[in-house]
Amino acid sequence: MTERNVAADRAGEAAPAGTNGAAPPIGIDDLTFDDALAELQRTVAELETGGQPLEESIALYERGVALHERCARLLADAELRVQRLVERAGGALAALDVRPDEAESE
């Protein structure tokens, strides 16, 4: 049971309809790498404990896949930025602002 469910249960409130007691999901594309990774870890831990109905388990799994993809995309972007560091005259380093889709066309 989530913290929200426990609080609602203690207060005698019902979980919002259609949410199975879960808080509405945060937009994955808005998460930072650290936040997405932490949420992915929580999602995996919740799946590992089991006990959820099938539909909730599937929804958790789908969110976990989306979180994994977000983390992978952010890591690929960071790697590309590091690879695009170029040495300038005098030894100074500068990062070229290159998007992953632009790098593939080079």
* Structural domain spans, the chain: 3-104
Give me the pLDDT at residue 15, please: 36
Give me the pLDDT at residue 33, please: 97
* Predicted TM-score (pTM) of this structure: 0.59
- Asked whether the beta carbons of 77 and 100 are under 8 A apart, the reply is yes
Give me the pLDDT at residue 39, please: 96
Averages of pLDDT over each 10 residues, the chain, 106 residues? 36 38 70 96 96 96 97 93 66 64 58
Q: How far is CA 11 from the centre of its chain?
A: 31
Cα(101)–Cα(106) distance, integer angstroms: 9
Q: How far is CA 93 from the centre of its chain?
A: 31
DSSP annotation string for 60-102: HHHHHHHHHHHHHHHHHHHHHHHHTEEEPGGG-EEE----HHH
